[in-house]
């Protein structure tokens, strides 16, 4: 069964593509069928991601790295797909969040415009591809696939707020893509290769005169990723976009900043690892101080926001800042804790975005909801021919359920005990201040930056608690005689599932932490990754002539 | 030729950045288009500039970059052109929608005071 791992790697890319193609062919007919296909494809994606994770983690501490050679071309010449622990982890995260978002969209949002489902699947394809690819230019292509789909998804439902923020979003991302291409071209000019592993392997061979050019190229590339990861001051686009996007889309967008974080983590540890000679840890201070500034910006935004959507947006910025700062330490223990934090924060943010619309519905009845949806048809408009009882049923305990879900989200986002947000923050703080507490030899000695991040974690938690409680009190405690709100099963289920996933993350914190630690260790000693990519040979096909025999004398 | 190409890229890029910073949506899209030209030329230039040496291996000529143009940046440019063209077209649609919904062509969708 080990041999089929490489072939499993194309599934997360091909499956959404095929699902999207099928749904495009259906046009605007059979809305219910398309919803089911969308959820089914997302579920299948999650199952495949879990299987990849299991295979990758099978070999104990060493782990297994799956390498798929597209069209059977070997590494520096062809495009490779690589799945190591980090990629597998991100794939699973995409699977969980997308499944929640897809189920939520069944409740009505998918009918607010055309082609929601195909765009959704194409976005998943772009995300999965970006997490799997081992080639820089291919990374650019998958980034653009995900972004192009996200432009469409963001505008889903139309309305002035969406179009206005969409204009900014697209302009910013087009500029970032230009920077991406410039940086990529400079790297190619210096290195003569675009395969990430090959660049990392050849980095010591760079002439001293070219090193400045290499650093400039890498820095320009990093600006493009940092824009997507929402570092201050390149993040003013984020909150309007996430607030204006329709609910399931905003929940899915919680993943978009993580693509930037993933790429930075992957490329930075691969190219500028601690043993990369004169380029070692190049740009670490940008991550550190940029991340801290981002946290500060997010905290101020949290304090200033009264609407739940904006609060959720700023909490994304805070988590981005925390992750960037943690990456900047370049230490195994901190990276390991940051990866756990990434899991918890992404699922919590996604659940919070799903809750936004439901919470805004409390005490205001359906009229408010109609206005919120702009020109989108409300749920009372029967657009679908076969409205099934699953989506239309009203839950009597909806308000209590909503309140509990909201409380769980507050605990998760603010990092209060007993849920996984607390475990993540505690792990980060432990890794920051106790160099030998986890008996890891290369944990950092406390520096001023350590204490800055330590303090930022505490302050951001406090501010998130204040800000979210303020909204919660206003929404849940103000009107005792408010009419019972309508909550569909398909809306409540994904929120509960995401929160339960966070509970599971808390209960199984030990195995997950062990996994993230192994991930961080392999990230900070990238030799295994480079070896796996460069030693994978093409499979001899039945019609393929023997390459060695054909080499000219 | 290097100096000429560098100048062209610089002028296109500079004009593009200036236009992107303007308040009208049409100026922004023109700026983005100019920037993408500059970027495409830049990628192209990374393959080292050679005249009259197509990347087709001829017998007797050693297969290295001193005798042939690097075909890789040309392939990259092709992909980059397609992608930037498509996304710019999408931007144009959003631009028109914004004009229709807000009644102004200001980038923030509000009339200037």
Lowest mean pLDDT among A48-62, A128-142, A154-168: A48-62
pLDDT number for residue A340: 93
Closest CA to A86 of A288, A286, A263, A317: A263
Q: What would you measure as the largest C-alpha separation in chain B, in angstroms?
A: 71
Cβ atoms of A308 and A360 within 8 Å: the answer is yes
With cut-offs at 50, 70 and 90, classify the pLDDT of residue A480. low
Chain A residues close to B88, C-beta within 8 Å: 174
Q: Out of B42, B72, B107, name the one closest to residue A167 (CB).
A: B107
Q: Is the pLDDT of residue A186 over 60?
A: yes
Residue A133, helix vs strand vs coil: strand
Mean pLDDT over residues B8-33, rounded?
93
Closest CA to A322 of A516, A505, A453: A453
Mean pLDDT over residues A196-213, rounded?
87
To test the contact with chain B by mutation, choose from A79, A115, A133, A181 the residue with the greatest count of B C-beta atoms within 10 A, namely A181
Q: Is the pLDDT of residue A485 over 90?
A: no
Contact B63/A at CB under 8 A: no
With cut-offs at 50, 70 and 90, classify the pLDDT of residue B19. very high
Q: Do B109 and A166 touch (CB under 8 A)?
A: no
Euclidean distance between CA atoms A497 and A300, whole angstroms: 31
With cut-offs at 50, 70 and 90, classify the pLDDT of residue A482. low
> How much of chain B exceeds pLDDT 70, in percent?
97
| Closest B-chain CA to A140 | B80
Euclidean distance between CA atoms A483 and B109, whole angstroms: 37
As a whole number of Å, the end-to-end CA separation of chain B is 48
**Counting one residue from A and one from B, how many pairs have CB atoms under 8 Å apart?**
91
Residue B89, helix vs strand vs coil: helix
Mean pLDDT over residues A338-349, rounded?
93
pLDDT number for residue A62: 62
Mean pLDDT over residues A30-36, rounded?
83
> How much of chain A exceeds pLDDT 70, in percent?
86
Q: How far apart, in Å, are the Cα atoms of B102 and each of A54, A163, B89, B98, B108?
A: 51, 9, 20, 6, 9
A388-399 pLDDT tens trace: 444 444 555 677
A80-104 pLDDT tens trace: 999 888 999 999 999 999 999 999 8
pLDDT number for residue A292: 93
Q: What is the mean pLDDT of chain A?
A: 83
Residue A80 CB partners (closer than 8 Å, separation 6+): A67, A68, A69, A70, A133, A134, A135, A195, A197, A533, A536
To test the contact with chain B by mutation, choose from A140, A147, A170 the residue with the greatest count of B C-beta atoms within 10 A, namely A170
pLDDT number for residue A367: 42
A171-184 pLDDT tens trace: 999 999 999 999 99
B55-94 pLDDT tens trace: 888 888 887 777 888 888 888 999 999 998 899 999 999 8
Q: Is the pLDDT of residue A50 over 80?
A: yes
With cut-offs at 50, 70 and 90, classify the pLDDT of residue A146. very high
Closest CA to A354 of A412, A296, A425: A412
Q: Is the pLDDT of residue A65 over 90?
A: no
Residue B68, helix vs strand vs coil: coil
- Per-residue b/e over A366-378, b at no fewer than 16 CB within 10 Å? eeebeebbeebee
With cut-offs at 50, 70 and 90, classify the pLDDT of residue A1. very low
Cβ atoms of A461 and A419 within 8 Å: the answer is no
Chain B residues close to A159, C-beta within 8 Å: 101
Contact B23/A at CB under 8 A: no
As a whole number of Å, the end-to-end CA separation of chain A is 39
- Here the tokens at position A136 are 């820089």
Cβ atoms of A473 and A407 within 8 Å: the answer is no
Residue A181 CB partners (closer than 8 Å, separation 6+): A140, B39, B40, B42, B43, B80
With cut-offs at 50, 70 and 90, classify the pLDDT of residue A547. low
pLDDT number for residue B14: 95
Q: Is the pLDDT of residue A370 over 50?
A: no
A418-450 pLDDT tens trace: 889 999 999 998 888 875 555 555 545 677 888
Q: Is the pLDDT of residue A329 over 90?
A: no
Mean pLDDT over residues A471-496, rounded?
76
pLDDT number for residue B40: 93
Cβ atoms of A443 and A375 within 8 Å: the answer is no
Residue B24, helix vs strand vs coil: strand
Mean pLDDT over residues B10-34, rounded?
93
pLDDT number for residue B112: 61
A274-312 pLDDT tens trace: 777 777 778 888 898 999 999 999 999 999 988 888 999
| Closest A-chain CA to B110 | A164
Chain B residues close to A140, C-beta within 8 Å: 80
pLDDT number for residue A376: 44
pLDDT number for residue A2: 46
With cut-offs at 50, 70 and 90, classify the pLDDT of residue B106. confident
Give the ipTM: 0.93
Secondary structure (DSSP) of A53-94: HHHHTTTTTT---EEEEGGG--TTTS-EEEE-HHHHHHHHHH
- Per-residue b/e over A295-333, b at no fewer than 16 CB within 10 Å? bbbbbebbeebeebbbbbbbbbbbbbbbbbbbbbbbbbb
- Dihedral through CA B52, CA B56, CA B61, CA B67, nearest 10? 50
| Closest A-chain CA to B101 | A160
Euclidean distance between CA atoms A156 and A245, whole angstroms: 8
Cβ atoms of A363 and A486 within 8 Å: the answer is no
Residue B61 CB partners (closer than 8 Å, separation 6+): B67, B68
Q: Is the pLDDT of residue A342 over 90?
A: yes
Q: Out of A137, A171, A174, name the one closest to residue B76 (CB).
A: A137
With cut-offs at 50, 70 and 90, classify the pLDDT of residue A548. low
Residue A81 CB partners (closer than 8 Å, separation 6+): A9, A10, A13, A66, A67, A68, A70, A132, A133, A134
**Residue spans per domain, chain A:** 283-373+391-526
With cut-offs at 50, 70 and 90, classify the pLDDT of residue A385. very low
pLDDT number for residue A386: 44
Only one residue has tokens 């998804």, namely A153
């Amino acid at each position: 069964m080990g041999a089929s791992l490489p072939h499993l790697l194309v599934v997360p890319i091909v499956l959404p593509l095929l699902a999207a193609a099928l749904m495009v062919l259906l046009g605007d007919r059979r809305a219910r069928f398309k919803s089911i296909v969308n959820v089914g494809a997302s579920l299948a994606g999650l199952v495949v991601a879990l299987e990849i994770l299991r295979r990758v983690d099978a070999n104990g501490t060493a782990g297994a790295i799956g390498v798929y050679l597209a069209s059977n071309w070997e590494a520096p010449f062809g495009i490779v797909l690589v799945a190591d622990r980090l990629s597998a982890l991100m794939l699973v995260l995409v699977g969980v969040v997308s499944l929640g978002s897809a189920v939520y969209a069944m409740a009505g949002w998918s009918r607010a415009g055309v082609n929601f489902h195909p765009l959704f699947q194409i976005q998943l394809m772009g995300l999965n591809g970006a997490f799997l690819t081992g080639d820089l230019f291919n990374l650019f292509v998958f980034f653009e696939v995900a972004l192009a789909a996200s432009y469409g998804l963001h505008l889903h439902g139309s309305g002035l707020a969406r179009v206005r923020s969409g204009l900014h979003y697209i302009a910013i991302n087009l500029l970032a893509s230009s920077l991406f291409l410039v940086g990529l071209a400079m790297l190619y000019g210096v290195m003569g290769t675009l395969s990430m592993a090959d660049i990392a392997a050849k980095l010591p061979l760079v002439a001293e005169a070219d090193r400045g050019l290499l650093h400039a190229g890498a820095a320009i590339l990093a600006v493009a990723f940092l824009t997507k990861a929402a570092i201050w001051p390149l993040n003013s686009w984020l909150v309007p976009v996430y607030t204006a996007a329709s609910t399931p889309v905003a929940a899915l967008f919680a993943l978009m900043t993580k693509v930037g974080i993933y790429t930075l983590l992957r490329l930075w540890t691969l190219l500028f690892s601690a043993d990369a000679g004169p380029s070692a840890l190049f740009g670490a201070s940008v991550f550190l101080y940029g991340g801290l500034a981002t946290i500060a910006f997010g905290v101020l935004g949290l304090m200033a926001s009264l609407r739940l959507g904006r609060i959720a947006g700023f909490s994304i910025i805070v988590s981005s800042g925390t992750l960037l700062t943690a990456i900047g330490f370049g230490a195994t223990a901190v990276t390991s804790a940051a990866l756990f934090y990434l899991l918890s924060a992404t699922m919590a943010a996604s659940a919070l975005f799903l809750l936004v619309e439901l919470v805004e519905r409390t005490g205001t009845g359906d009229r408010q909801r109609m206005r919120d949806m702009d020109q989108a048809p409300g749920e009372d408009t029967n657009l679908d021919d076969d409205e099934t009882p699953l989506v239309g049923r009203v839950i009597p305990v909806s308000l209590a359920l909503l309140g509990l879900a909201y409380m769980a989200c507050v605990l998760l986002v603010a990092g209060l005990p007993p849920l996984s947000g607390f475990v993540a923050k505690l792990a980060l703080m432990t890794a920051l201040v106790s160099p030998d507490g986890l008996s890891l030899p290369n944990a950092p000695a406390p520096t001023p930056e350590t204490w800055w991040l330590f303090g930022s974690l505490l302050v951001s938690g406090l501010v998130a608690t204040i800000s979210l409680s303020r909204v919660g009190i206003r929404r849940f405690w103000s009107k005792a005689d408010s009419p019972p709100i309508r909550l569909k099963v398909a809306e409540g289920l994904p929120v509960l599932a995401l929160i339960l996933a966070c509970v599971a993350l808390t209960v199984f914190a030990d195995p997950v932490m062990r996994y993230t630690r192994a991930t961080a260790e392999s990230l900070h000693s990238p030799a295994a990754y480079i070896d796996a990519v460069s030693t994978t040979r093409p499979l001899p096909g039945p019609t393929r002539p023997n390459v060695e025999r054909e080499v000219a004398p | 030729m290097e100096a000429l190409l560098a100048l062209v890229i610089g002028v296109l890029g500079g004009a593009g950045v200036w236009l992107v910073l303007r308040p009208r949506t049409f100026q922004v899209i023109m700026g983005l288009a100019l920037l993408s030209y500059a970027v495409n030329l830049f990628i192209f230039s990374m393959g080292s500039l050679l005249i009259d040496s197509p990347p087709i291996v001829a017998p007797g000529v050693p297969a290295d970059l001193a005798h042939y143009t690097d075909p890789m940046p040309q392939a990259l440019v092709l992909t980059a052109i397609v992608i930037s063209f498509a996304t710019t077209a999408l931007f144009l649609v959003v631009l028109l929608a914004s004009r229709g919904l807000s009644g102004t062509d200001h980038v923030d969708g509000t009339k200037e005071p």
